[in-house]
Amino acid sequence: MKAKKEAKEILNILRNYYPDATCSLDFETPFQIVIAVMLSAQCTDERVNKTTPALFQKYGTPEKMAKANIKELEQLIHPCGFYKNKAKNALACSKVLVEKYNSSVPECMEELIALPGVGRKSANVIMLEAFHNAQGIAVDTHARRISNRIGFSSQNEPTKIEQDLLKQFDKKDWCDVNHLFVWHGRYTCTARNPKCLDCPLVKYCNSHNE
């Protein structure tokens, strides 16, 4: 793991390199970010953003989606892949929100994680984007790759990587870590053929320096 001072240096470099880093998913309500995050599993945010306008026009609230026809949901979600499972979870999640939470999205990690189709990573994103209350760091494929390559964590399990990251970054910085790791992984530190010559973190990177 990196020392907190070095982690802070790295974060400041990324802030300067990606000054516009923010959530890439389009949404207007907490419910919509719940569904968008659900659809983003093993799918690009760009594809999700092309899919959700039609989906939310018809089923933009928990009440509407809870009454949706599953086949129709599957058809709308189909472009995002794994559409049968995602449609099933979206429907089940909507029903729980209606029946248990009066159609509101709970502002609590434990309650979010208990919703169908919402794991810890998704709950972290929802807490940050819907309620501006970072409760952790979402370890997606980008955060995992960067953490391993730079040396923030040697773990492979997302929950263990998150625990390592939380020790190195102050809570006030968790919001930026969430956004900047995604942008750095998407645009520079890619899975295949990372752009090491353009990377501002080369001198800190264990993978490159090995």
Q: List, for residues 104-162, the tens digit of each pLDDT value.
A: 999 999 999 999 999 999 999 999 999 999 999 999 999 999 999 999 999 999 999 99
* pTM greater than 0.95 (yes/no): no
Eight-state DSSP code of residue 2 = -
| Active site members | 121, 140
- Exposed, middle or buried by CB within 10 Å (0-12, 13-18, 19+), for 53? exposed
Q: Which residues 6+ apart lie within 8 Å of 30 measured at CB?
A: 104, 105, 126, 130, 131
Exposed e or buried b for every residue in 182-198, given b needs 16+ CB within 10 A? bbbbbebbeeeebeeee
Distance CA 118, CA 179 (A): 19
Torsions phi, psi for 156 (to 5 deg):
-110, -25
Query: For the chain, what are the domain ranges?
Result: 4-22+136-209, 30-131
Distance CA 148, CA 206 (A): 8
User: Kind and range of the H or E element at 7?
Assistant: helix 4-17
Whether the pLDDT of residue 208 is over 90: the answer is no
Please name the CATH architecture into which domain 30-131 falls. Orthogonal Bundle (1.10)
pLDDT digit string (tens) for 57-94?
999 999 999 999 999 999 999 999 999 999 999 999 99
Count CB neighbours of 41 within 10 A. 18
Please say whether the structural domain 4-22+136-209 has been given the CATH code 1.10.1670.10. Answer: yes
**% residues pLDDT > 70 (the chain):** 99
